[in-house]
Protein backbone atom coordinates (compact mmCIF):
# COMPACT_ATOMS: atom_id res chain seq x y z
CA UNK A 1 0.00 0.00 0.00
CA UNK A 2 3.01 2.36 0.24
CA UNK A 3 3.01 5.15 -2.29
CA UNK A 4 6.74 5.65 -1.78
CA UNK A 5 9.57 3.17 -1.37
CA UNK A 6 12.94 4.34 -0.04
CA UNK A 7 15.88 1.94 -0.24
CA UNK A 8 18.38 1.07 2.46
CA UNK A 9 21.71 -0.28 1.27
CA UNK A 10 24.66 -0.77 3.61
CA UNK A 11 26.38 2.59 3.93
CA UNK A 12 23.36 4.84 3.24
CA UNK A 13 23.31 8.41 4.58
CA UNK A 14 20.86 8.29 7.48
CA UNK A 15 19.90 11.99 7.43
CA UNK A 16 18.93 11.77 3.78
CA UNK A 17 16.88 8.64 4.35
CA UNK A 18 15.20 9.45 7.66
CA UNK A 19 14.33 13.05 6.71
CA UNK A 20 12.24 11.76 3.83
CA UNK A 21 10.57 9.10 5.96
CA UNK A 22 9.86 11.58 8.75
CA UNK A 23 8.32 14.34 6.63
CA UNK A 24 6.21 11.97 4.54
CA UNK A 25 4.87 10.19 7.60
CA UNK A 26 4.05 13.55 9.23
CA UNK A 27 1.93 14.27 6.14
CA UNK A 28 0.42 10.77 6.15
CA UNK A 29 2.00 9.82 2.83
CA UNK A 30 2.60 6.09 2.94
CA UNK A 31 6.29 5.23 2.71
CA UNK A 32 8.13 1.96 3.30
CA UNK A 33 11.81 1.68 4.13
CA UNK A 34 13.03 -1.20 1.97
CA UNK A 35 16.15 -3.23 2.75
CA UNK A 36 18.11 -4.46 -0.25
CA UNK A 37 19.90 -6.92 2.04
CA UNK A 38 18.76 -10.28 3.44
CA UNK A 39 17.83 -8.70 6.78
CA UNK A 40 15.65 -5.77 7.82
CA UNK A 41 18.48 -4.20 9.84
CA UNK A 42 20.72 -2.04 7.66
CA UNK A 43 23.67 -0.01 8.94
CA UNK A 44 24.38 3.49 7.62
CA UNK A 45 27.66 5.12 6.66
CA UNK A 46 27.89 6.50 10.21
CA UNK A 47 27.21 3.18 11.92
CA UNK A 48 23.52 3.83 12.68
CA UNK A 49 21.39 0.72 12.25
CA UNK A 50 17.77 1.15 11.20
CA UNK A 51 15.19 -1.60 10.87
CA UNK A 52 13.52 -1.46 7.46
CA UNK A 53 9.78 -1.97 7.11
CA UNK A 54 10.17 -4.61 4.43
CA UNK A 55 12.74 -6.62 2.49
CA UNK A 56 13.11 -5.85 -1.22
CA UNK A 57 11.56 -9.17 -2.24
CA UNK A 58 8.41 -8.30 -0.26
CA UNK A 59 8.02 -4.66 -1.37
CA UNK A 60 4.85 -3.77 -3.26
CA UNK A 61 6.10 -2.17 -6.46
CA UNK A 62 2.67 -2.33 -8.07
CA UNK A 63 1.23 0.16 -5.56
CA UNK A 64 4.31 2.37 -5.38
CA UNK A 65 4.20 5.72 -7.13
CA UNK A 66 7.77 6.83 -6.36
CA UNK A 67 11.14 5.24 -5.66
CA UNK A 68 13.63 7.20 -3.53
CA UNK A 69 17.40 6.72 -3.29
CA UNK A 70 19.31 8.18 -0.34
CA UNK A 71 22.98 8.86 -0.93
CA UNK A 72 25.96 8.04 1.22
CA UNK A 73 28.99 5.90 0.61
CA UNK A 74 29.23 3.07 0.06
CA UNK A 75 25.40 3.10 0.05
CA UNK A 76 25.17 4.63 -3.42
CA UNK A 77 27.60 2.09 -4.84
CA UNK A 78 25.60 -0.71 -3.22
CA UNK A 79 22.33 0.61 -4.69
CA UNK A 80 23.82 0.64 -8.19
CA UNK A 81 25.23 -2.87 -7.74
CA UNK A 82 21.83 -4.33 -6.75
CA UNK A 83 20.38 -5.40 -10.11
CA UNK A 84 16.81 -6.05 -8.91
CA UNK A 85 16.64 -2.39 -7.85
CA UNK A 86 18.22 -1.03 -11.02
CA UNK A 87 15.68 -3.01 -13.06
CA UNK A 88 12.82 -1.46 -11.06
CA UNK A 89 14.30 2.02 -11.48
CA UNK A 90 14.49 1.56 -15.26
CA UNK A 91 10.91 0.21 -15.36
CA UNK A 92 9.60 3.16 -13.30
CA UNK A 93 11.41 5.61 -15.60
CA UNK A 94 10.01 3.90 -18.71
CA UNK A 95 6.49 4.18 -17.26
CA UNK A 96 6.99 7.85 -16.37
CA UNK A 97 6.66 7.14 -12.64
CA UNK A 98 8.43 9.37 -10.14
CA UNK A 99 12.02 8.87 -8.99
CA UNK A 100 13.96 10.85 -6.40
CA UNK A 101 17.64 10.73 -5.46
CA UNK A 102 19.88 12.79 -3.21
CA UNK A 103 23.61 13.35 -2.72
CA UNK A 104 25.64 10.79 -4.68
CA UNK A 105 22.53 8.73 -5.53
CA UNK A 106 21.57 10.74 -8.65
CA UNK A 107 24.66 9.07 -10.13
CA UNK A 108 22.70 5.80 -10.05
CA UNK A 109 20.04 7.39 -12.26
CA UNK A 110 22.80 8.75 -14.47
CA UNK A 111 24.44 5.34 -14.83
CA UNK A 112 21.08 3.90 -15.91
CA UNK A 113 20.58 6.66 -18.53
CA UNK A 114 17.45 7.85 -16.74
CA UNK A 115 18.56 11.49 -16.62
CA UNK A 116 18.88 12.04 -20.37
CA UNK A 117 17.65 15.53 -21.19
CA UNK A 118 16.66 16.22 -17.56
CA UNK A 119 17.88 18.93 -15.23
CA UNK A 120 19.47 17.39 -12.14
CA UNK A 121 21.78 18.10 -9.24
CA UNK A 122 23.98 15.99 -6.97
CA UNK A 123 26.75 16.05 -4.39
CA UNK A 124 29.71 18.11 -5.60
CA UNK A 125 32.18 15.92 -7.47
CA UNK A 126 29.53 13.60 -8.92
CA UNK A 127 28.40 15.93 -11.71
CA UNK A 128 30.18 13.91 -14.40
CA UNK A 129 28.16 10.84 -13.39
CA UNK A 130 24.86 12.49 -14.34
CA UNK A 131 25.06 11.05 -17.84
CA UNK A 132 23.40 13.30 -20.44
CA UNK A 133 21.73 15.44 -17.77
CA UNK A 134 21.77 19.22 -17.58
CA UNK A 135 23.57 19.77 -14.24
CA UNK A 136 22.07 22.56 -12.13
CA UNK A 137 23.79 23.81 -8.97
CA UNK A 138 20.69 24.10 -6.76
CA UNK A 139 19.63 22.52 -3.47
CA UNK A 140 16.76 20.63 -5.09
CA UNK A 141 15.91 20.21 -8.76
CA UNK A 142 12.53 18.98 -9.98
CA UNK A 143 12.28 18.10 -13.65
CA UNK A 144 9.09 16.28 -14.56
CA UNK A 145 9.04 12.95 -12.75
CA UNK A 146 12.60 13.30 -11.37
CA UNK A 147 13.60 15.01 -8.10
CA UNK A 148 17.29 15.35 -7.23
CA UNK A 149 19.12 17.06 -4.38
CA UNK A 150 22.68 17.87 -3.33
CA UNK A 151 23.23 16.19 0.05
CA UNK A 152 22.58 15.90 3.76
CA UNK A 153 22.36 19.67 4.15
CA UNK A 154 19.48 19.78 1.67
CA UNK A 155 17.63 16.72 3.01
CA UNK A 156 14.67 18.66 4.44
CA UNK A 157 14.19 20.60 1.19
CA UNK A 158 14.42 17.31 -0.71
CA UNK A 159 11.82 15.68 1.53
CA UNK A 160 9.56 18.74 1.18
CA UNK A 161 9.81 18.49 -2.61
CA UNK A 162 8.57 14.90 -2.35
CA UNK A 163 5.70 16.03 -0.11
CA UNK A 164 4.89 18.71 -2.67
CA UNK A 165 4.84 16.10 -5.44
CA UNK A 166 2.06 14.23 -3.65
CA UNK A 167 0.21 16.92 -1.70
CA UNK A 168 1.00 20.30 -3.23
CA UNK A 169 3.10 23.26 -2.26
CA UNK A 170 0.92 24.38 0.67
CA UNK A 171 1.33 21.00 2.39
CA UNK A 172 5.09 21.10 1.79
CA UNK A 173 5.29 24.61 3.27
CA UNK A 174 3.12 23.51 6.19
CA UNK A 175 5.30 20.55 7.15
CA UNK A 176 8.45 22.69 7.04
CA UNK A 177 6.76 25.41 9.07
CA UNK A 178 5.74 22.89 11.71
CA UNK A 179 9.24 21.48 12.17
CA UNK A 180 11.24 24.68 11.79
CA UNK A 181 9.24 27.53 13.30
CA UNK A 182 7.98 27.96 16.85
CA UNK A 183 4.80 30.02 16.85
Q: What is the CATH number of the domain that holds 102?
A: 3.40.50.880
In a domain, 183, yes or no: no
Please give the pLDDT value at position 178.
87
Residues carrying an active site annotation: 103
H/E run at residue 4: strand 4-8
H/E run at residue 161: helix 155-167
Residue range of the domain that includes 61: 4-176
Look up the pTM and report it: 0.96
Please give the pLDDT value at position 182.
44
pLDDT digits (tens, 9 = 90+) for 103-136: 999 999 999 999 999 999 999 999 999 999 999 9
In a domain, 182, yes or no: no
Could you tell me which of 46, 56, 47 has the C-alpha nearest to residue 79?
Answer: 56
Contacts of 131 (CB under 8 A, 6+ apart): 110, 111, 113, 115, 116
In a domain, 181, yes or no: no
Please give the pLDDT value at position 116.
95
What are the Cα distances from residue 138, in Å, to 33, 100, 134, 157, 164?
26, 15, 12, 11, 17
Give the bridge partners for 143, in sequence order.
146
Contacts of 117 (CB under 8 A, 6+ apart): 132, 133, 134
Under-50 pLDDT residues of the chain = 1, 182-183
How many structural domains does the chain have?
A: 1
In a domain, 64, yes or no: yes
Amino acid sequence: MAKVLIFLAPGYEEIEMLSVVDLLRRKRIAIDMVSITDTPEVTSSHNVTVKADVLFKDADFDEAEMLVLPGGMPGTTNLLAYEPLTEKLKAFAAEGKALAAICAAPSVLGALNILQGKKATCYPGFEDKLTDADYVKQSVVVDGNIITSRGAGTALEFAAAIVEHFSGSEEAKDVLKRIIYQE
